[in-house]
Every structure is written in structure tokens, then in C-alpha cells.
Structure 1
Amino acid sequence: MTILITYPKKKIEPFYRLQLANKTDVCYFPLRHLVPKELSREEREKIAQAKNLMLTSPFAAEYYSKKIARLNRQATLYVVSSKMANELKARGVANRIEVGTEENRQALIHKVEAENLTKVVWLLGDVALSHYQTVIGDKVVVYQNMWTEADQGELLLTMLQHKFQQFLVTSTSAAQRLLKSLNKLDSNNEEQQAIFYVLGESTGKYLESHHLRVVYPSEKQNVLDNIIQKIINHGGEGNE
């Protein structure tokens, strides 16, 4: 079995990388280039005045700690996972940090609504912005999720060179880019037999809408580790 993983190799724990390599042939192919964005004066002022900063992804958390933490060291930081919280602390961030009950944006949105939070600012990527239009608080795009036609062509070439039976798809944008290449291959039957492992419901539902076999994490936290364990222990059916 050969698997394509749409997540950076260096972001996966060495222990799991070794176990995956012993289990199957692995191709790491992140379907994105995350590019930090220079903030305007108005955007920096919004961050400085916030009481609650919502960090919606590991890259947003990294951006905050490395580039703009000095703007606001009093705001409470809300993150989607305990791993993000630990990484922020390891980088010297002293703000109070709250972790969502589940590793998804909906858990953070629920916190804002349930706790009636005020002076909320969301730090996010440009692709994710459309999902937050009706959400309480200001939105500041701190990075761009880039993908070019040349990238798409390289992905298609990689898929022509390998016969992937499994995919770990870590975002809806990655799923869209992956299916664009899959649809160009004359492999409908193989595609229907492949297993698509995902981290969350939005990605899973998108793939299921294309009649593909999807496997979800069985836990709401540590979803990346959980789904990798499922791949290593492969044998489950789709749509779990």
C-alpha cells in the first residue's frame, strides 16, 4: 500500500514517521505554501486592542509568537489544540491560553458565543476567511495559502508515477487540490477503492460528497496522532 500525506514531513513526530515507513511506502506532499503577510497599521492596532485572540491554526500561532506577540501580551489566546498551546509556551509566550474542546474552528466559535467574549480578533489564513464572515469579532489575515498551476502539475506528475491506495488529507483546500488531479487521471475505479483519512468533519464531508471512502479520527483531540495510528493499524472500513 502506498499513501500520499498532504502534511509537512517535519511536522509529524519522528516516532510516527518511522512507523509509517515500516508499514507502507509514504509520499509527503503538502498541497500548500503558507506565506506570512505583512500587516497594515490598522490590523496591528486591532490586535493590540484585543482582549481575546483566536489562533485558528498552527501557522497562525507560530506567526503570533514570532512576529506580533509584543503587540499584545495581555490578551487571552484561544487555540484549537493542546499541542498548539504547548508550542506557544515553549516559544516564551506568557499570555493566558485556552484550548478548545475539539480540534476545529467550530469549537472556538462556540466558545466566543457561549462565553459572550468581547474585543475578539481572529488570526487566520486567506483561504479560511470565508468561513468566518458571520462570526463575532474582527478578522485579520496573517498568512496566505498559496498554490499555483505549476504546483498542480507537479502533483499530477507524482500521482502518475505512484499508485496511491491511501491518502491523508489534512484540510478542505488540500482535498480540493487533490481531487482536481485525481479527476484528470483515468482511474475512477481505483479512486473509489482508495481510503481517504481526514482530521475533521469539513474535509471528510467534502470528500464524501464525491462518493469517496473516508476515515475520521476517533478522538476530538490529538487528531493527527490519532489518524496516523489508524493508518498504521490499517484494516478499518471507510466512513468511520
Structure 2
Amino acid sequence: MPPEHPDDDHGPRRVRVLLADDQRLVRAGFASILDDEPDIEVVGEASDGAEAVALARALRPDIVLMDIRMPGTDGLTATERIVGDERLADVRVVILTTFDVDDHVYGALRAGASGFLVKDTEPEELLRGIRVCARGDALIAPTVTRRLIAEFAGRVRRPDPGPRLAALTEREREVMALVAAGLTNDEIARRLVLSPATAKTHVSRIMTKLAVRDRAQLVILAYETGMITPGWLTRPGGAA
């Protein structure tokens, strides 16, 4: 649930959303859907990436719905600037794209975006996605995660575990591999015979050790370091 508003004793505050798209009609359409929800508020609109970064810094929204292709400063560059700004550590970027598998989307996820939505998504999915990200979760359906990350991370010629994974315990490596398979904390708990709280703690500790923002980046790192490889999920012993 969104955090309580410090100036409001009557319940949780609304999720604050910044829209970034170069097409005014697209922004208007999203704003119309979002403003009808009692728990969501559109706090600003940007027509390019530079404006999105400036408004993110000024307004500190919970979520930025970011079009990937915009004139001038594009969505990928804007995402990198927002994610790289320590003052915006609580801001989550959700990429808007026309196609659900796209090199630019993969780049945005590597840059720290918390997920993506296709522009023609159903209103219910848009609302669900915003609420998911507002809770701090990554917005990528497991099936899409597998296809997207396997397709692009699988192009890495020589996976390099480097020193980062050395910090993980054997149990944490097991948990990370299951996160990369798209399993939820509850599913990981059942698979490893843990409590959901313990599974959640493992995931949080892994993200802290590896300095990643969310599960989306964990998935990418798992592929790029060779922890798992395309096809792993369908082989005997895989998580699927």
C-alpha cells in the first residue's frame, strides 16, 4: 500500500504519477484513466525526457510513466538520469512502449526502470501496474520476463560473474535463480520450504548486496553473469 500522507490522518495518500510522452493525446488518455481512481493522482506531464527529469526532481512522484521514444532527450536517457539521482531513490520508472519486446526496453531495465507496459494495455492492467510499482515491486509478468531477458541477455558472449556474486551465500544464489525464473516470494518460499517472510528477507538482502533497485535488475544480472542461461527454465531441474 502507498505510505500514509504526513498531513492526512484520514487514510493512505494517493500514488503520485508523472506522465512523460511526446504525444499530447496519449498523455490525455492516460490522465483520464488515472484521475478517475481515488488512490492515484497525476501530478504532472512532460513532453520529452529532459522535461521528465526536471519534473521528477521538482515533484518527486512515486511513478514516472515514461515513453521510450521521444524527440530530444529520449526515455532511456531520462530513465538513466532519474535512477542515477540519489535524491530520486524512491521514484520508480515504468517504460511505455509500442512493442513488448524491444532493445530499448531491455536497455531501460538495465538502467534501472522497474518495468514496462505496452501502450495499448487495458486500463485495468495499467492501474494494476502502477499499484504494483508503488508497492516497490517490479512490473514484468513472469512470461514476459523470460522472453525479454532471455532474448537480449542471451546475446552476452561471455557471461562474467565478477566479484559481485561472490558476496552471496549458497541459499541466496538459489533464491536469486528463482527470482530470475519469475517466481514470486510466496512461490520461492514453497519451492525452498521457507516462510514467505524469510523468502522476502533473502530477496531484500540479495538486492542490497548486489546494489540493485528491484527484481527486474536481479533477473538481468542473473542472465548476464551466467547464473542461468536461456533454456535453463525448460531443462530438467530448472524452475519452470
TM-score range, shorter chain: 0.3 to 0.5
TM-score, normalization by structure 1:
0.37
Quick check: which one's strand share is greater?
Answer: 1
TM-score, normalised by the number of residues in structure 2:
0.37
Q: Whose helix fraction is larger, Structure 1's or Structure 2's?
A: 2
Higher relative contact order (CA 8 A, sep 6+): 1
